[in-house]
């Protein structure tokens, strides 16, 4: 590898002490940065000979702590694996290294009229390898679906250093879906070292509107009505009052009225000729639901301006609070208003500021809790509030994560949505790929229940 | 269960001697027809106590022999499990029993402006349980994706009779994707007894065109050019000359010219206002590729007429031949013309009539081989030709199945696309769900290699 690509100095390791879940920090034993499948295989072979646990890492933007590595583990990072391996416009396929940044794939595909659809909010930083690990979503996944819909092949290196090809035929190869179960396995099965994905043709046109509401529940009603109209927006995003005020107080000010309690971004894409009619119907639904103002965009610049409050929400909150816990849960769309009200009550009870930014169209909530991690009592209130929020989501018929994965953060909630048998089946599926349990330990699955009478 | 729902008389069992892969026939020991999850659980419990192997069966329309059951096995059929359990228009979700016929789900959802997108050609007969088992596709899956994209929850009964809930939260619940790996497991993991699926809003409009070509390769070029234009048709289907002539000679005559060598059906759906422009661009591409005639539909009736030759292709071939082997393979779209030429050569060499009908947009070929199964030599030539066709698909960078599954028919080809390690991983994943190996034995996976020195 060469010394330059093996990081072991304590000061340099600090950069790897957490990912986007900043509440928890640990320092890995070392970080290794291989540059291709062969090097990953050799690195994994050596680490396995020594029985060292391995934590894969992309850009470290994950929000559930999936890249957290304790002092025993070596991080295998993909920061140098950023190449486009093959672009095949005719078949609308790309094969890339896992360290390629999500937005860069679209940049490379754009001259061919193509783009990569899943668009996490972190897309200018997060890697495709990380997206595969977390089965990432994004605002436009309402219409286009999440990462798993686009991955058609993977080259994977497992713990011992074996190189395994999964799919890679432009679609599933037949047989049980090893490829599908690897996507979203959060670095616990192996490291994807090559990724084949489907690209889509750029939609001819895009139309965006921003509706401002005095009540969050009215924005929720507008979402329900737009969907009930049979419209299929590309994105349907709500920013609540607390978030609006955070954005407007920051350098990212987007011109949203600070006395509003919700802003709803609605976007349609497709054939230019049909967009105006869709937008018109959505505007009517917003007004009927009680929007006090509806803005539409006449140019690409205006479109970006309407999006700014949504896109910069996390950045803005980072400026007003010391730390930010970006929570993630899903509920049936019809339960959005009720669940948001209950999240508000949870925040009030724990004296925490919770600002909500979320993918309303598919019921994927992101309650953002502001706190100060140096204050132990603050952190424990965040954990309590998170637990209560998860319980509310599950009680409403939803689940504990929408797109951020389980990681370390959600392990404790897995039993809310999975039976002991399900969890045991997951343990056995992990063992198919990682029989020694040395890939990204302590993530996803809760510790198995103690067996009565078992030897200690 | 009652005697009526346990079939053991030899004459009645004849109806279960094969599925849509009629080349192979065996008679099961018995057929049981439970009516809900609880009954399936009790049936599976009793069968497992006796160590009896189980073969799940929907409508028996599968084309890879997945429902073939030998004399030791009991078939557990879903023919009585046809209920809509819950229709939730607001969240665009439906929960159904597995014996519900695919088209019936759309019929029930239609009054709410919704429909179920995956549309196998057998959709008026095939069941949603079978669709889940085979991860079925259909003409419109080019734009909308296959079954796995729509399944959000399953209740599953495993061999011992355990009832397992997978997902059911309107999206994946978090953790390793047990739900995803069950979809497409071809009845080898357990029986899905309840299925939760996403519904989509009905597109506002649909426009269809039919282009007639003197050369199959020109139709292939038209497909490439339409996709290169950045258009995203809902369906892009080719019917070759042999198929056209079969259709026109049958009761399903659709008015396609019998001297043509290919007909291409192109369909767009979406917002009414945008459709005309899309159709116009596709017409231009067809003409430039050499279409001698392009027909468009001005009414719903005309639209159905354009589709008739495609939709009735299998029925028409059933009329002209004794038996039909509907093959299934995929190739990169850019290789379609070359692969079709080689399939033609294979047919000529084995003196077999091979008619091609296929999902050209996603490179999913269906070479249909006409034969007489009572003629052993004929059958052996079909098997040889099938093997050669599979090899050609794989050599072109494709794979051995697009949407019909592996079943018994494709087991022998699995090693063309999967390494021994992959196959071993699949065996271990099956064992997570079915450790005793009694669910649908002899399907999907080839027999494991004999271990040297192992006790016999």
**Over the stretch A148-178, which tens digit does the pLDDT of each residue have?**
999 999 999 999 999 999 998 777 789 999 9
Mean pLDDT of the region B2-25 = 93
A318, burial (CB in 10 Å: exposed 0-12, middle 13-18, buried 19+): middle
Q: Closest CB to A422: pick one of B178, B274, B444.
A: B178
> Which residues of chain B have a CB within 8 Å of the CB of A270?
270-271, 274
Closest Cβ–Cβ partner in B89, B176, B429 for A444 = B176
What pLDDT does A373 receive? 86
Cα–Cα distances in angstroms (integers) from residue A354 to residues A215, A240, A350, A368, A392, in the given order: 16, 10, 10, 5, 15
Q: Are B277 and A270 inside 8 Å of each other by CB?
A: no
Q: Name every chain A residue with its beta carbon within 8 A of the beta carbon of B185.
A: 176-177
- Token pair 């059929």 is found at B77
pLDDT tens for each residue of A217-227:
999 999 999 98
CB B196 within 8 A of CB B95: yes
Tokens of residue B223, six digits: 């497909």
CA distance B9 to chain A (A): 34
Of A145, A178, A275, the CB nearest to B425: A178
- Using one digit for the tens of pLDDT, what is the confidence trace for B223-232? 999 988 888 8
- Which residues 6+ apart lie within 8 Å of A369 measured at CB? A324, A325, A327, A347, A352, A353, A354, A382, A385, A386
pLDDT of the residue at A99: 98
Q: Do A175 and B88 touch (CB under 8 A)?
A: no
Among the listed ranges A318-322, B87-91, B391-395, which one has the minimum average pLDDT value?
A: A318-322
**Residue B456: band (very low, low, confident or very high) from pLDDT cuts 50, 70, 90:** very low
Write the CA distances from A199 to A135, A436, B360, integer angstroms: 16, 36, 17
Q: Which residues of B touch A426 (CB under 8 A)?
A: 175-176, 178
Reported as type and span, the H/E element at residue A169 is none
Q: Which residues contact A348 (CB under 8 A, 6 or more apart)?
A: none
Per-residue pLDDT tens for B162-198?
999 999 877 778 999 999 999 999 999 999 999 999 9
ipTM of predicted assembly, 2 dp:
0.91
Claim: this prediction has a pTM higher than 0.90: yes
CB contact under 8 A, B330 and A402: no
Q: With bands split at pLDDT 50, 70 and 90, how would you rate the model's confidence at B453? A: low
B455: confidence class by pLDDT, cuts 50, 70, 90: very low
B321-344 pLDDT, tens per residue? Answer: 788 999 999 999 989 999 999 999
A62-110 tens-digit pLDDT:
999 999 999 999 999 999 999 999 999 989 999 999 999 999 999 999 9
Spatial distance between the Cα atoms of A344 and A355, rounded to a whole number of angstroms: 9
Q: Is the pLDDT of residue B452 over 70?
A: no
| Residue bearing the bigger pLDDT, B404 or A229 | B404
Q: Assign B271 a pLDDT band (cuts: 50, 70, 90).
A: confident
The reply to whether residue B421 touches residue A113, judged by beta carbons under 8 angstroms, is no
Q: What does the pLDDT read at residue A456?
A: 40
Instruction: Judge: A180–B185 Cβ closer than 8 Å, yes or no.
Output: no
Is the CB of B175 less than 8 angstroms away from the CB of A414? yes
Q: How high is the pLDDT of residue B316?
A: 87
Out of B181, B271, B397, whose CB is closest to A180? B181
Nearest residue of B to residue A331 by CA position?
B169
Identify the band that residue B374 occupies on the pLDDT scale cut at 50, 70 and 90: confident
Look at strands A191-198 and A163-167 and give their pairing.
unpaired
For residue A454, count CB atoms less than 10 angstroms from its CB and return exposed for 0-12, middle for 13-18, buried for 19 or more. Answer: exposed
Give the per-residue pLDDT at A329: 95
Residue to mutate among B176, B201, B223, with most A CBs inside 10 A, is: B176
Average pLDDT, stretch B310-330? 87
Asked if B271's CB is within 8 angstroms of A178's CB, the reply is no
Tell me what the mean pLDDT of segment B297-302 comes to: 90
With DSSP H G I counted as helix, E B as strand and the rest as coil, what are the percentages for chain B, rounded to 5? Answer: 40, 20, 40
The partner residue sitting opposite B430, judged by closest CB among A176, A277, A433, is A176
Tell me which chain B residues have a C-beta less than 8 angstroms from the C-beta of A414. 174-175
Burial of B388 (0-12, 13-18, 19+ CB in 10 A): middle
Low-confidence ranges of chain A (pLDDT < 50): 454-456
B178, B271, B423 ranked by CB distance to A425: nearest = B178
């Amino acid at each position: 590898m060469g010394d330059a690509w093996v990081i072991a100095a304590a000061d340099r390791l600090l950069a790897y002490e957490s990912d986007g879940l900043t509440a928890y920090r640990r320092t890995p034993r070392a970080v290794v940065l291989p540059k291709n499948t062969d090097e990953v295989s050799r690195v994994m072979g050596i680490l396995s000979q020594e029985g060292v646990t391995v934590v894969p890492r992309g850009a470290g933007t994950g929000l559930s702590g999936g890249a957290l590595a304790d002092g025993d583990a070596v991080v295998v990072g993909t920061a140098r694996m950023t190449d486009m391996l093959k672009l095949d416009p005719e078949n609308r396929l790309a094969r890339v290294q896992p360290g390629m940044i999500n937005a860069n794939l679209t940049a490379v595909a754009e001259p061919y009229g193509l783009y990569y659809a899943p668009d996490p909010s972190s897309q200018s930083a997060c890697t495709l390898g990380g997206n595969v690990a977390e089965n990432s979503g994004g605002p436009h996944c309402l219409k286009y679906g999440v990462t798993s819909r686009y991955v058609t092949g993977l080259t994977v290196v497992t713990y011992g250093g074996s190189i395994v090809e999964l799919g890679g035929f432009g679609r599933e190869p037949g047989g049980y879906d090893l490829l599908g179960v690897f996507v979203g396995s959060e670095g616990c099965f192996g490291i994807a070292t090559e990724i084949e994905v489907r690209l889509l043709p750029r939609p001819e046109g895009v139309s965006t509107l921003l509706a401002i509401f005095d009540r969050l529940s009215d924005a929720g009603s507008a979402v329900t009505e737009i969907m009930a109209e049979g419209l299929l927006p590309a994105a349907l995003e709500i920013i609540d009052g607390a978030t609006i005020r955070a954005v407007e107080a920051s350098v990212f000010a987007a011109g949203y009225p600070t006395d509003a309690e919700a802003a709803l971004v609605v976007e349609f894409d497709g054939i230019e000729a049909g967009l105006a009619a869709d937008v018109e119907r959505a505007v009517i639904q917003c007004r009927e639901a009680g929007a006090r103002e509806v803005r539409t965009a006449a140019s690409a610049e205006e479109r970006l301006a309407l999006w700014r409050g949504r896109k910069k929400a996390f950045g803005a909150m980072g400026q007003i609070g010391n730390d930010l816990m970006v929570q993630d849960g899903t509920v049936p769309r019809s339960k959005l208003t009720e669940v948001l009200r209950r999240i508000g009550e949870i925040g009030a009870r724990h004296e925490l500021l919770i600002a909500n930014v979320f993918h309303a169209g598919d019921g994927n909530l992101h309650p953002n809790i502001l706190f100060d991690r140096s204050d132990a009592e603050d952190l424990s209130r965040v954990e309590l509030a998170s637990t209560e929020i998860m319980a509310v989501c599950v009680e409403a018929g939803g689940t504990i994560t929408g797109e951020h994965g389980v990681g370390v953060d959600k392990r404790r909630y897995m039993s809310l949505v999975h039976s002991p048998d399900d969890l045991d089946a997951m343990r056995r599926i992990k063992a198919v790929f990682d029989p020694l349990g040395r890939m990204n330990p302590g993530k996803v699955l809760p510790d198995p229940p103690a067996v009565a009478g078992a030897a200690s």
